[in-house]
Amino acid sequence: MLRWSDFPNLVHGYSEAIDGTMAINGGFENRQHYLAQHGLRPAETVHAGLCHGTNIVVVTASDGGTIIPDTDGLITAEPNVGLAMTAADCLLISAYDPKRQVIGMVHAGRRGLAAEILLKFFQGWIEAFPSIASDCLVSISPGICADHYTVSKNDAAAFAQWPDACQKRDYDFRLDLRSVARQQLLTAGVQEGKMMFDSRCTFEDHALYSYRRDHPITPQLQVGYIVRKSEIS
Ligand SMILES: [Zn+2]
């Protein structure tokens, strides 16, 4: 079974609180500096201007250095084009098709997952490239765990089609983003053994920013990134 570490030219990861906030407003310079340290050049990196929707965009080198507005998923087949987006409890999901050399990243929180964003992400990917989801390696970022994610009855109802997505406890519901993500990835055709989950809970782990824990006045966000380098640096 292939692993991410089998591809040293593929660079991907997630920042931590110690790296500072990576928000578009109030942290973008820091984000570019941080990403450059990981080999993503500012002029070649494409950023998603998130909207908690399901818009997926295929990007090329000509999009480098820009923020694509109102999109929660980016895909590229071009080497050295970095993809970046932020979260602070939501999941960031990276994918790589080693056969066709395509990479992608998608932001998956409550609203996106309720709208089946992971299915739409792979539909967009497969429409654009002759990829097969079962070939893809998939990495799932830290995110808030079900114990710390209370949602309303109405919000819970949006997840009725995914078994074990929500559990009723006392007077409220707890939403398990990872469980929904895993189920949508399986439906999209991703193989279980090719999913790599980072089990850290953003709420519990103070090395990570958590919106629900901190309710910051200005956004404090992790950035996720992925790039396929044409040469190993
Ligand atoms: Zn937790």
Cα 79 to ligand 1 centroid, rounded to whole Å: 36
Domain of residue 77 covers 4-144+178-228
In a domain, 210, yes or no: yes
224 with 74: CB under 8 angstroms? no
In a domain, 184, yes or no: yes
pLDDT given at position 194 = 97
Residue 75, φ and ψ in degrees, nearest 5: -140, 140
Cα 53 to ligand 1 centroid, rounded to whole Å: 24
pLDDT given at position 233 = 60
CA torsion, ordered 179, 183, 185, 188, to nearest 10 deg: -160
Please tell me the pTM assigned to this model.
0.96
In a domain, 217, yes or no: yes
pLDDT given at position 231 = 79
Cα 61 to ligand 1 centroid, rounded to whole Å: 38
pLDDT given at position 218 = 93
Phi-psi domain of 57 (left: phi exceeds 0; alpha: psi -120 through 50; beta: other): beta
In a domain, 164, yes or no: no
pLDDT given at position 115 = 98
| Partner residues linked to 94 by β-bridges | 105, 139
Cα 108 to ligand 1 centroid, rounded to whole Å: 17
Cα 217 to ligand 1 centroid, rounded to whole Å: 22
18 with 233: CB under 8 angstroms? no
Report the relative pairing of strands 195-197 and 137-140 from DSSP bridges: parallel
Cα 130 to ligand 1 centroid, rounded to whole Å: 38
Cα 198 to ligand 1 centroid, rounded to whole Å: 13
Residue 42 one-letter amino acid: P
Tell me how many domains the chain contains.
Answer: 1
Cα 26 to ligand 1 centroid, rounded to whole Å: 27
In a domain, 233, yes or no: no
Nearest-Å Rg of the Cα atoms of the chain is: 17
Cα 201 to ligand 1 centroid, rounded to whole Å: 5
Per-residue pLDDT of the chain (233 residues; tens, 9 = 90+): 789 999 999 999 999 999 999 999 999 999 999 999 999 999 999 999 999 999 999 999 999 999 999 999 999 999 999 999 999 999 999 999 999 999 999 999 999 999 999 999 999 999 999 999 999 999 999 999 999 999 999 999 999 999 899 999 888 999 999 999 999 999 999 999 999 999 999 999 999 999 999 999 999 999 999 999 997 66
Cα 11 to ligand 1 centroid, rounded to whole Å: 27
In a domain, 188, yes or no: yes
CATH number at residue 223: 3.60.140.10
CA distance to 34, 108, 132, 164, per residue, from 20 (Å): 9, 22, 37, 34
State the Cα–Cα distance between residues 142 and 5, nearest whole angstrom.
19
Cα 41 to ligand 1 centroid, rounded to whole Å: 34
Cα 199 to ligand 1 centroid, rounded to whole Å: 10
In a domain, 168, yes or no: no
In a domain, 125, yes or no: yes
Scanning the chain, the segments in alpha helix (DSSP H) are 24-37, 110-114, 117-128, 153-157, 177-188, 211-214
